[in-house]
Structure 1
């Protein structure tokens, strides 16, 4: 016997399938990066021009899960992929709504989006299942211009890899300085609750990790990589893609991760490192991947101007 995956009410609006308006909780007020507060801390965010601590991007992934499950069913939890470019931050107390293109026969990839009540775009991208080669972020990667005059990332090179690290997520496990909460804490606040996340009444007979918490699992030990990134500097997620190859991933099971620098890019305000994390099961075969663009804010690095002059004078 299994429970329904979700009881979320979904509606059709033109050529879109839309979810309900939700107010995600900001759970990273106490997040610490390299002994300094992060973009999710109100005071730090306000110094950098934001109205307050931002809601972490993958928090929004939960609102797409009922939409994708409606289209693909069980396959969504096994080979689903969300590929998103974060356009604007959301803040606690704001309502946001997820949408996806309505299904067409044989279609395996769909455009997704999320907006605030005032129409501000939070993210755009694609959702897919199976072996889809072109996603929103694969297209973005193909269009990137090389990073010019790097400072924060001056010592980083495309192709750098990290060693394997073992990661696991139990219900009551504190997930460290990067994620100062547990899965149990998240399940009390998650926008789209599911019996699949907390009990065995699902097709796999074990509690599965929610899509948004896969990001937490994959990044759990990322600060141990010790890649040569200069800092401290405040960073934010600018693009993110999570792809399941042999999902779902299970609560309490050990996995291993390794990371590779796949691209470096930048903007007027940021320097970005694009990291691909590959996740392996006990049989050493990949079960998931994550592509993450971590953008470091130039103005948050105290030595930026001085080091830029020294490097490029």
Structure 2
């Protein structure tokens, strides 16, 4: 008997852990610090959005196998913050035979939506969720915090990056890969045991690709006015010639690809392209919507009027 009922895979309820309470940038704590979050009107410091990506990896590996780690794209719009102690479950709609894109979402235990996403398998997977969202962006009317940015602006330098197992990832990410693996919601031998993987190398988990792609971002020197508090509103990670390996040297080049505005935020969308160490072979990309909170910038009203 045939039905056209859409079915989905779902994972178990998990309690993702907060690892950014001590995050620091531009000389101040971030929204992930409880005191700072409460000051900005949130109940506690939220768990970083890409932490939830790990819950999708087993489901997408079930659908696409090894190819997911080599050519997969996860494209997410964050909907509601999660604080430590709350439980989250990931869902992935089962694709039709041969389909290269599926709908994904995550919910809290009470059904509150956490994120919506598309997952797809390149290179012929068509537009992602964030491609579709960017296509609908309207040009901002007036930017204050981001007034010195422009679409097409490139990072100041090529940024050499790597992630060793015990490497402390700096002020933005005050922990190591091994420390993350002690608390990650879905662990795998592939993240730490080279002999267990099809590539003979330990691979960087999807959520830690965000760390690899962002920990050196200060070197880009994008002229965002400070001090200001920001958060991740949209994020996409795409493997082109993946996976990315632990202990491997890479090179990042960044570009501002969109600017947008809402009632509460000014946003700059940055595409970070991750190359091999020689800078010739593109391995992966991250698209990130940095949403800066207008009310966290002390001079916002005065400069807006001026």
Q: What TM-score, normalized to structure 2?
A: 0.96
* Count of aligned positions: 298
Q: What is the distance in 2 between the residues matched to 1:258 and 1:275?
A: 10
Residue 234 in structure 1 maps to residue 254 in structure 2:
no
Q: What is the distance in 2 between the residues matched to 1:272 and 1:248?
A: 29
Correspondence for 1:285: 281
| CA-to-aligned-CA distance 1:113-164 (integer Å, 9 cap, x gap) | 0000111110001001111221100000000011111000011000000121
User: What does 1:97-246 align with in structure 2 at a 5 Å threshold?
Assistant: 97-131=89-123, 132-162=125-155, 163-200=157-194, 201-246=196-241
Q: What is the distance in 1 between the residues matched to 2:84 and 2:180?
A: 15
Correspondence for 1:58: 50
Q: What is the distance in 2 between the residues matched to 1:31 and 1:106?
A: 42
Correspondence for 1:3: none
User: What does 1:261-300 align with in structure 2 at a 5 Å threshold?
Assistant: 261-283=256-278, 284-300=280-296
Q: What is the distance in 2 between the residues matched to 1:72 and 1:263?
A: 31
Q: What is the distance in 2 between the residues matched to 1:262 and 1:229?
A: 15
Secondary structure at the counterpart of residue 65 of structure 1: helix
Q: What is the distance in 1 between the residues matched to 2:109 and 2:55?
A: 15
Match of 2:35 among 34, 37, 43: 43
Q: What is the distance in 1 between the residues matched to 2:112 and 2:183?
A: 24
Deviation at 1:202?
1.0
Moved segments of 4+, more than 3 Å: none
Deviation at 1:102?
1.0
206-215 or 283-292, which moves further after superposition?
283-292
Secondary structure at the counterpart of residue 88 of structure 1: coil
Q: What is the distance in 2 between the residues matched to 1:195 and 1:307?
A: 52
| CA-to-aligned-CA distance 1:25-44 (integer Å, 9 cap, x gap) | 00000000101110100010
RMSD of the alignment, in Å? Answer: 1.0
Secondary structure at the counterpart of residue 189 of structure 1: coil
Q: What is the distance in 1 between the residues matched to 2:8 and 2:255?
A: 36
Question: What are structure 1's unaligned runs of at least 5 residues?
Answer: 1-12
Q: What is the distance in 1 between the residues matched to 2:284 and 2:180?
A: 21
Question: What are structure 2's unaligned runs of at least 5 residues?
Answer: none
Q: What TM-score, normalized to structure 1?
A: 0.94
Correspondence for 2:65: 73
Deviation at 1:228?
1.0
